Amino acid sequence: MIVLFTDFGLDGPYVGQMKAVLHGEAPGVPLIDLMADAPAFDARAAAYLLAAYAPAFPAGCVFLAVIDPGVGGSRLPLAVEADGRWFVGPDNGLLAPTARRAETARAWQVTWRPDRLSASFHGRDLFAPVAARLARGDEPPGSPYPIAKMAGAGWPDDLPEIVYLDRFGNAVTGLRAAGLPEDAALVVAGHRLGRARTFSAVAPGVAFWYENANGLAEIAVNQGRADRLLGLKPGDRVALA
């Protein structure tokens, strides 16, 4: 399958145009809309979401990952194979945590260019055709590229920040819960939050943090909105207490 991970949103033509290319280049390959509201323009925050979600997908999947504020500039296009999964996108750090966490990873600088390459929509014109060809079983259209040279290679293994607010107002962090002490409290925006297993473990209206379904530490309010109650926003720093 081809898995879409973008900050495009579902309004407007952008996701549809990419899907049209994918259907044309790799007919019959299923397309999965994993995320269309990744942190806008923020490859660093999105990178930790992608690294958390990807392991749930089987080997052989191709992730078309496009958070690309530097489109048309000097950043390189990459194809990365990490633990048997493919990732196609810009070399702006978006793919770095995924590559670093993998047991085996290889990268290629994509040197192929289509006849028509717009300055502002490489998701459609460059990354989608490459993703489709990888899904068909083709070789990466480029040359090997050192993992250590990828943008974001020096970023931390976990990001102690809020990286995403979901539609319920829950605040997802870039911290993997498995690496935190069982009795750890999180401090964010002046609030100290204890850990609970799930929403029903606390009373309605109570704020807490828990290990979400993708293994990340998430801040929530039972039957409420953590973003509004606690005044949270993406980029807020998170500390252990």
Annotation: CATH topology of 159-240? Elongation Factor Tu (Ef-tu); domain 3 (2.40.30)
The predicted structure's pLDDT at residue 17: 98
> Do 107 and 150 form a contact (C-beta atoms < 8 A)?
yes
Class of domain 2-149 (CATH, top level): alpha beta
- DSSP characters over 56-94: GSPTT-EEEEE--TTTTSSPPEEEEEETTEEEEEESSST
In angstroms, the CA 80 to CA 67 distance is 16
Separation between Cα atoms, residue 55 and residue 176, nearest integer Å? 13
Alpha helix locations (H) across 73-147? 96-101, 122, 128-135
Which pLDDT does position 128 carry in this prediction? 98
Average pLDDT over residues 157-185: 97
Residue-level pLDDT at 9:
96
* Region 184-205 average pLDDT: 98
Domain boundaries, the chain: 2-149, 159-240
Radius of gyration over every alpha carbon of the chain, rounded to an integer in angstroms: 19
Q: What is the pLDDT of residues 124-142, one digit of tens each?
A: 999 999 999 999 999 999 9
pLDDT of residue 85: 98
> In this predicted model, what pLDDT tens digit does every residue of 93-109 receive, in sequence order?
999 999 999 999 999 99
Q: Is the pTM of this model over 0.75?
A: yes
Q: What angle do CA 35, 143, 7 make, to 5 degrees?
A: 15
Q: Which SS3 state, helix, strand or coil, does residue 165 take?
A: strand
- The alpha carbon of 127 is separated from its chain's Cα centroid by a whole number of angstroms, namely 16
65 phi and psi angles, rounded to 5 deg: -110, 110
Average pLDDT over residues 58-84: 98
d(CA 141, CA 118): 19
